[in-house]
Structure 1
Amino acid sequence: MRVRQDRLKKIWLGILPFGASLGRGAGEMHALLSTAATLAVFSFFVSGCGKSEPQSSRNTSPGAKPKIALAMKSLANEFFNTMAEGAKKHQAANSDRYDLIVNGMKNETDLAEQVNLVEQMVAQQVNAIVIAPADSKALVPALRHAKDAGILVVNIDNKLDAGVLEEAGLKVPFVGPDNRMGARKVGEALAKRLKPGDKVAIIGGIPTAFNGQQRRLGFEDAMKAAGMNIVSVQSGNWEMEKANGVAAAILSEHPDLKALLCANDNMALGAASAVQAIGKTGQIMIVGFDNISAVRPLLDKGQIIATADQHADLLAVFGIEAALKILKGESAPADQTTAVDIIKTTNKHE
Structure 2
Amino acid sequence: MLRSTRTLVSLTSVTVIALGLGGCQAADQPAETAGSPDPASLSSAAPSVDAFQADGFTIGIANYSLATPYLAALNTAMEDRAAEVGVTAISTDAGGDPAQLAADVTDLLAQEVDGIIVSGGDLVNAPGVSLAMKDSQVSLVFVDRLFDSGFYNAWIGPDYSTIAWDSCDYIGSALGGRGKVATIKGGPASHPIGLLLAESFGECFAQTLPEMSLVESGELGDWTEAGGERVMNSLLAEHGDLVAVFCQNDAMCLGAQKAAADAGRTDEMIFVGVGGTPEAFEAIMAGSNFNATSLVDPDEIGEQGVNLMVTIFRREDFARNSFVPSPLVRPGNAAEYQE
What TM-score, normalized by structure 1, do the two folds share? Answer: 0.70
Distance in 2 between residues matched to 1:265 and 1:156, nearest whole Å = 21
Could you tell me which of 175, 190, 198 is aligned with 1:216?
A: 198
* Paired AA for residue 214 in structure 1: L
CA deviation vs aligned residue, 1:96-115 (integer Å, no higher than 9, x gap): 2x222345577xxxx42x54
Structure 1 position 246, deviation (Å):
1.9
Q: Secondary structure at the match of 1:267?
A: helix
How does 1:1-350 map onto structure 2 within 5 Å? 8=5, 17-18=44-45, 64-71=56-63, 73-77=65-69, 79-94=70-85, 96=86, 98-103=87-92, 111-112=96-97, 115-125=99-109, 126-137=113-124, 139-148=125-134, 150=136, 151-161=138-148, 165=149, 170-171=151-152, 173-206=154-187, 207-224=189-206, 225-227=208-210, 228-232=212-216, 235-300=220-285, 301-329=287-315, 333-346=319-332
**Percent identity over paired residues:** 19
> Gaps (5+ residues) in structure 1?
21-61
Of 245-254 and 114-123, deviating more is 114-123
Structure 1 position 338, deviation (Å):
1.8
Structure 1 position 63, deviation (Å):
7.3
Contact 1:260–1:286 (CA under 8 A) maintained in structure 2:
yes
Contact 1:186–1:287 (CA under 8 A) maintained in structure 2:
yes
* Paired AA for residue 78 in structure 2: A
Distance in 2 between residues matched to 1:104 and 1:205, nearest whole Å = 23
Q: Secondary structure at the match of 1:68?
A: strand
Distance in 1 between residues matched to 2:133 and 2:318, nearest whole Å = 14
* Paired AA for residue 226 in structure 1: L
Structure 1 position 346, deviation (Å):
4.4
* Larger RCO (CA within 8 A; separation ≥ 6): 2
Change (3 A) 1:104 1:255: farther
Distance in 2 between residues matched to 1:180 and 1:208, nearest whole Å = 16
> Gaps (5+ residues) in structure 2?
10-40, 48-53, 334-339
Change (3 A) 1:324 1:265: same
* Paired AA for residue 107 in structure 2: A
Structure 1 position 160, deviation (Å):
1.7
Structure 1 position 198, deviation (Å):
1.2
Distance in 2 between residues matched to 1:274 and 1:121, nearest whole Å = 43
Contact 2:172–2:178 (CA under 8 A) maintained in structure 1:
no
Distance in 1 between residues matched to 2:92 and 2:276, nearest whole Å = 22
Change (3 A) 1:320 1:189: same
Distance in 1 between residues matched to 2:46 and 2:297, nearest whole Å = 11
Distance in 1 between residues matched to 2:153 and 2:186, nearest whole Å = 23
Instruction: State the superposition RMSD in angstroms.
Output: 3.3
CA deviation vs aligned residue, 1:165-209 (integer Å, no higher than 9, x gap): 1xxx53453212221112211221122222444111112233323
Contact 2:62–2:92 (CA under 8 A) maintained in structure 1:
yes
Contact 2:45–2:322 (CA under 8 A) maintained in structure 1:
yes
Equivalent pairs counted in the alignment come to 285
Distance in 1 between residues matched to 2:166 and 2:45, nearest whole Å = 19
CA deviation vs aligned residue, 1:104-128 (integer Å, no higher than 9, x gap): 577xxxx42x542442342243443
Change (3 A) 1:158 1:124: closer
Of 220-229 and 294-303, deviating more is 220-229
Q: Secondary structure at the match of 1:305?
A: strand
* Paired AA for residue 181 in structure 2: V
* Paired AA for residue 82 in structure 2: Q
Structure 1 position 286, deviation (Å):
0.8
Change (3 A) 1:9 1:286: closer
CA deviation vs aligned residue, 1:6-60 (integer Å, no higher than 9, x gap): x946569x9950499xxxxxxxxxxxxxxxxxxxxxxxxxxxxxxxxxxxxxxxx
Q: Secondary structure at the match of 2:245?
A: strand
